[in-house]
Amino acid sequence: MKARLLVGLLVVLPLVLAAAPPKKTRAVHPQVDTQEACDVCHREVTPEVVEAWYQSRHGLMNVKCFVCHGTVGPEFVRRAPVSRCVGCHNDKVDSLANPFFKGKDCFSCHAGHELNPHKIGGGK
Amino acid sequence: MSISRREFLESAAAASALAALSGLPRPVQAAGGEKWVKSVCRYCGTGCGLYIGVRDGKVFAVKGDKDNHNQGFLCLKGFLLPQILTAPTRCLYPMIRKDGKLVRASWEEAMSLVASKFKEAIEKYGPDAVAFYGSGQGLTEETYVANKLFKAGIRTNNVDGNPRLCMASAVGGYVTTFGKDEPMGCYEDIDHADVFLLVGTNTAEAHPILFQRIVRRKEKAPGTKVIVMDPRRTPTARIADLHISFKPGTDLAILNAMAYVLVHEGYVDEEFIKNHVVFGEGTETNKSFEDYKAFLAKYTPEKAAAIAGCKAEDIVTAARWFGARGKASMSMWTMGLNQRTEGVWANNLVHNLHLITGKIGTPGSTPFSLTGQPNACGGVRDGGALSHLLPYGRLIANEAHRKEMEKLWGVPEGTLKPKPGPSTVEMFQKVEAGEIKCLYIMCTNPGQSLPNVGRYRKALQRDDVFVVVAEAFHPTRTSELADVVLPAAAWAEKEGVYGCAERRYQLLEQAIPPSGEARPDFEILCDLGRRLGLGHLVPYKTPTDIWNEILTVCKGTVYDFTGMTRERLRQAHGLLWPLPTPDHPGTNRRYVKGEDPFVPADWPHRIKFYGRPDGRAVVWMRPFKGPEEAPDAEYPMYYTTGRVIEHWHTGTMTRTCKELVHANAEAVAELHPADAQKLGVKTGDKVKITSRRGSQVFKVKVTDTSRENLVFVHMHDDQHLCNLITIDALDPISKQPEFKVCGVKVEKA
């Protein structure tokens, strides 16, 4: 449990910071036992994030953590780049070319994890 | 100041640097040589359209095709497809077993050996000493070449494929009820349905994009009802208005009880029955509606509930929702019904619900079998690459059909053997018995996927059996047993057609050259044909050559898709047959006047089930029959297997994607908390599961989504073989094995 809490602290911080606009600093998810799915730990350490995802469209459709965030270690992605959205939402990504969206990405409007349509206010 | 999409994406490149490290799609760059190639997902039978992004000769991304039925969406497996192409387990050169080990060989050396072994076996023991075992993942053109080469060239009907393990009972259901295989409905029906009956399908994990379409329908039409019938409370049940959990293998009783309620509470459509339905029992269609009513008397909701271990009132509710006047009802099912010794009967009973209520052939009302592989329908079922079939609805046992195919294939009359060959499990039993000496396995993994697989793994290791595996990946649990491994081009490295669950045919264009020394399967088969002196039967240079021949073979059948020229397929985002002329738009709903080109315009009714000579569908009286091996004192728990969303089939591809392996690393035994308590185990502990056929140790996951006295294990783990335990008992009609139910004992390990 202690190990999980430590992992949690290391993980929560970058996730909270993900509310900020994209930065060039890299968040690195600590290496953990990759025999376990993300939610095994995160139900304990970031239950609100897991719950927000679970109740979202992505949660209902089983679009799981790794689709946006990658896997652990250096391959972890804190704030999903549009390249991770383009697989399913390529027409929406195209719309980002509109000058109105200058400097914005998908999570500028669709709050991370809840992903409610057009919930203005930035990612969570 | 405006910025272009490209500029925007370039500006995001820094943020996506980590994505590049993980092999995931990166934003497109301005650098030249980039293209997007139209294709279809490699995985399940939903057949989602996608574009493959190619840069510098390498696949760097995929994105959904918004002009296709999936409206641009992909599931998480499809999204990660690019990784499979560069997996360390790609098979890049031929291998031959020498001194017990597979070692690198040249194509010439490997093919010479294969041809000489096949020739030797045929000359010494006859054509039935060799066999072909194919796949619902091969391209239509590839499967067609194999079927023709073996049946018309080598002259053996020892041709079967893995759709026998997943779809044969659905075929049997459609053929016995409607006279012809394949669904009459389409995906678009989902957008019109008011009631969904999902029975024996974990749609959310096995067919995520269709599940999404159901969710959207439910959101758009708030009164929509979703009934989920499954022993486990799967993720599909999240959208259920009613989830009926029942003892595995008892759903025939429930389906008959639903029919009982429909009949006794006045939900039947007498006019539809009068015009379109006959009643049957066994194989005869000589019964009446009154006989059917008398038959159903044994299946009151109370009696069925007692058999199935569910609530009678839930059965009544399900029936009332399904039968509600003015509501469109759509049923969907997959392996929960098909992988059973009563699989065909279970399919018949679902069709019955639609036929007695007349809820069929109108938007939103249809029985719809979901398919597990991307080309089980188009390549193997429609293409007739099973041991009892010839292409496009023709039967081996039918002399007129044989003659027709002999003419089309340009072989002398009498070339095609009249006796059907063995079904899949029977084929491997012939290998076990030493009757089949040479086996060519293409694009599939029976060393992991067969039921009671320990038995058949031993058969494949017989010294006197020569096993050829043509595969894009190595090692697999089959290629490790091979005498020769031939490197096949993978998805994106070759061109061909896939036909998905809704009669939709789509062209997968080649995006990149084959890796290493790999070749497309059709080229390998044509090479073998030439070496066997049968090159004149398989003279093809390109997949288009084969497709053009296929168009002549489907012509005049009820499948007729003559209008699907290569060019039209290239332009289209999927086309639904029948499509008999180049200007025909395709057919959403079969058997329906005004939509199906084979229903005459002056037909007096809205529907014509022309698959049967009398133009009527059959309501079959199918009694409840339990599984072959229900739990007993010695093996007291139910054992069942199935899918999870992260992986696909034997994991040959998905287990090369690191995110997918991370998210779901190994098959675990899902146990209900009450069972876990009895066994004294918790999540993370290990249990040994044993059946009469074999045993395997799994980690435990305790979950209340399971049903008491049931243990579930997923089927995708090559290191924890769930099929050492499953039973190889077959449905007597479809010859499909009963993967879904057997008895086991579970002990703490």
CATH number assigned to the domain comprising residue B683: 2.40.40.20
User: Is residue A84 in some structural domain?
Assistant: no
| Cross-chain Cβ contact A83/B72 below 8 Å | no
Q: For residue B25, what pLDDT is reported?
A: 37
Residue B136 has which token pair? Answer: 């619902």
Cα(B698)–Cα(B703) distance, integer angstroms: 15
Question: B129 and B189 in one domain?
Answer: no
Cα(B87)–Cα(B74) distance, integer angstroms: 21
User: Is residue A47 in some structural domain?
Assistant: yes
B86: DSSP letter: T
Q: For residue A112, what pLDDT is reported?
A: 83
Number of domains chain B contains: 4
User: Any idea what the CATH number is for the domain that residue B76 is in?
Assistant: 2.20.25.90
Question: B132 and B30 in one domain?
Answer: no
Closest-CA residue to B450 (of B712, B728, B649, B696): B728
User: Is residue B101 in some structural domain?
Assistant: no
Contact present, A106 and A85 (Cβ < 8 Å): yes
Residue B715 has which token pair? Answer: 């089927």
Cα(B172)–Cα(B177) distance, integer angstroms: 8
Closest-CA residue to A70 (of B662, B333, B640, B381): B662
Contact present, B279 and B224 (Cβ < 8 Å): no
Question: B420 and B288 in one domain?
Answer: no
Q: Give the mutation candidate from A44, A83, A93 for the B interface (greatest B CB count, under 10 A).
A: A83
Question: B360 and B238 in one domain?
Answer: yes
Query: B491 to chain A, minimum CA–CA distance in Å?
Result: 17
For chain B, the residue count is 749
| Cross-chain Cβ contact A35/B646 below 8 Å | no
Helices B251-264 and B289-296: crossing angle in degrees, nearest 10, is: 120
User: Is residue B593 in some structural domain?
Assistant: no
Question: B176 and B160 in one domain?
Answer: no
Residues 187-206 of B with CB under 8 A from A: 204-205
User: Is residue A50 in some structural domain?
Assistant: yes
Residues 63-92 of B with CB under 8 A from A: 63-64, 66, 72-76, 78-79
Q: For residue A16, what pLDDT is reported?
A: 38
User: Any idea what the CATH number is for the domain that residue B306 is in?
Assistant: 3.40.228.10
What are phi and psi for residue A109, nearest 5 degrees? -115, -35
Q: For residue A35, what pLDDT is reported?
A: 64
Chain B residues with CB under 8 Å of A64 CB are 76, 645-646, 663
Output b/e per residue, B277-303; b: 16+ Cβ within 10 A. bbbbbeeebebebeebeebbeebbbeb
| Cross-chain Cβ contact B66/A90 below 8 Å | yes
A92 conformational bin, left if phi > 0, alpha if psi -120 to 50, beta if neither: alpha
Q: Is B458 on the interface with A (CB under 8 A)?
A: no
Q: Which residue of A has its CA nearest to B657?
A: A71
The catalytic residues of B are: 77, 166-167, 335, 372-373
* CA B393-B399-B403 angle, 5° bins: 80
User: Is residue A10 in some structural domain?
Assistant: yes
| DSSP state string for B211-272 | HHHHHHHHHHSTT-EEEEE-SS--GGGGG-SEEE---TT-HHHHHHHHHHHHHHTT---HHH
User: Is residue A51 in some structural domain?
Assistant: yes
Chain B residues with CB under 8 Å of A62 CB are 75-76, 204-205, 208, 235, 645
Q: What is the distance in angstroms between the CA of the first residue and the CA of the last residue of chain B?
A: 67
User: Is residue B581 in some structural domain?
Assistant: no
| Mean pLDDT (chain A, rounded) | 74
pLDDT averages per 10-residue partition of chain B, 749 residues: 31 31 36 86 98 96 96 96 97 98 98 98 98 98 98 98 97 98 98 98 98 96 97 97 98 98 98 98 97 98 98 98 98 98 98 98 98 97 98 98 98 98 98 98 98 98 98 98 98 98 98 98 98 98 98 98 98 98 97 98 97 97 98 98 96 95 93 98 97 98 97 97 98 98 98
Closest-CA residue to B531 (of B98, B91, B110, B94): B110
Cα(B104)–Cα(B93) distance, integer angstroms: 7
Question: B326 and B200 in one domain?
Answer: yes
Any idea which residue has 């996608």 for tokens? B50
pLDDT over threshold 70, residue A13:
no
Residue B264 has which token pair? Answer: 């006794």
User: Is residue B105 in some structural domain?
Assistant: no
User: Is residue B446 in some structural domain?
Assistant: yes
Whole-Å CA distances, B72 to A48, B68, B240, B532, B673: 30, 7, 25, 45, 40
Chain A residues with CB under 8 Å of B205 CB are 62
| Cross-chain Cβ contact B4/A81 below 8 Å | no
Residues 433-452 of B with CB under 8 A from A: none
Number of domains chain A contains: 1
Output b/e per residue, B374-411; b: 16+ Cβ within 10 A. bbbbbbbbbbbbbbbbbbbbbebeeeebbebbbebbeb
User: Is residue B222 in some structural domain?
Assistant: yes
Strand order in the sheet with B58-64: B35-40, B49-55, B58-64
Closest partner residue to B205 (CB to CB) among A62, A74, A79 is A62
Alpha helices in B358-462 (DSSP H): 399-409, 424-432, 446-449, 453-460
Chain B residues with CB under 8 Å of A83 CB are 12, 16, 19, 24-27, 61
Query: B666 to chain A, minimum CA–CA distance in Å?
Result: 8
Q: For residue A22, what pLDDT is reported?
A: 46
User: Is residue A90 in some structural domain?
Assistant: no
Q: For residue B33, what pLDDT is reported?
A: 78
Closest-CA residue to A106 (of A13, A48, A22, A17): A22
User: Is residue A72 in some structural domain?
Assistant: yes
Domain that holds residue B275: 168-370
Chain B residues with CB under 8 Å of A35 CB are 665-666
Q: For residue B59, what pLDDT is reported?
A: 97
Q: For residue A91, what pLDDT is reported?
A: 84
User: Is residue B560 in some structural domain?
Assistant: no
Contact present, B238 and B204 (Cβ < 8 Å): yes
What are phi and psi for residue B743, nearest 5 degrees? -100, 140
Question: B172 and B162 in one domain?
Answer: no
Domain boundary among B320, B345, B370: B370
| Cross-chain Cβ contact A97/B645 below 8 Å | no
Interface predicted TM-score (ipTM) of this complex, two decimals: 0.84
Strand order in the sheet with B277-281: B284-287, B277-281, B617-621
Contacts of residue B12, Cβ cutoff 8 Å, sequence gap at least 6: A22, A81, A82, A83, A105, B27
Question: B283 and B156 in one domain?
Answer: no
Query: A32 to chain B, minimum CA–CA distance in Å?
Result: 10
| Total Cβ atoms within 10 A of residue B219 | 11
Cα(B685)–Cα(A68) distance, integer angstroms: 31
For chain A, the residue count is 124
Chain A residues with CB under 8 Å of B19 CB are 70, 77, 81, 83-84
Domain that holds residue A16: 2-79
User: Is residue A38 in some structural domain?
Assistant: yes
Question: Is the peptide bond preceding residue B578 cis, with omega within 30 degrees of 0?
Answer: yes
User: Is residue B735 in some structural domain?
Assistant: no
Interface contacts A/B by beta carbons within 8 Å:
132
Closest partner residue to A88 (CB to CB) among B2, B73, B658 is B73
Question: B719 and B671 in one domain?
Answer: yes
B77: DSSP letter: H
User: Any idea what the CATH number is for the domain that residue B402 is in?
Assistant: 3.40.50.740
| DSSP state string for B620-677 | EE------SS---SSS-EEEEEE--TT--TTSTTGGG-HHHHHHS-S-EEEE-HHHHH
| Cross-chain Cβ contact A65/B66 below 8 Å | no
Chain A residues with CB under 8 Å of B62 CB are 87
The predicted-structure confidence for B85-116, as pLDDT tens digits, reads as follows 999 999 999 999 999 999 999 999 999 999 99
Q: For residue A118, what pLDDT is reported?
A: 54
Q: Is B698 on the interface with A (CB under 8 A)?
A: no
Closest partner residue to A66 (CB to CB) among B5, B72, B663 is B663
Q: Give chain A's contact residues with B (Cβ, < 8 Å).
A: 22, 24, 26, 34-38, 60-67, 70-72, 74-77, 79, 81-84, 86-91, 93-94, 96-97, 99, 101-102, 105
pLDDT over threshold 70, residue A122:
no
| Cross-chain Cβ contact A86/B14 below 8 Å | no
Chain A residues with CB under 8 Å of B664 CB are 37
Contacts of residue B87, Cβ cutoff 8 Å, sequence gap at least 6: B473, B653, B656
Query: B649 to chain A, minimum CA–CA distance in Å?
Result: 18
Torsion of CA A19, A20, A21, A26, to 10 degrees: -100
The predicted-structure confidence for B243-297, as pLDDT tens digits, reads as follows 999 999 999 999 999 999 999 999 999 999 999 999 999 999 999 999 999 999 9
Question: B127 and B80 in one domain?
Answer: no
Question: B175 and B73 in one domain?
Answer: no
Closest-CA residue to B529 (of B158, B153, B152): B153
Cα(B462)–Cα(B57) distance, integer angstroms: 42
Q: Is B96 on the interface with A (CB under 8 A)?
A: no
| Cross-chain Cβ contact A97/B73 below 8 Å | no
| Cross-chain Cβ contact A62/B204 below 8 Å | yes
Q: Is B664 on the interface with A (CB under 8 A)?
A: yes
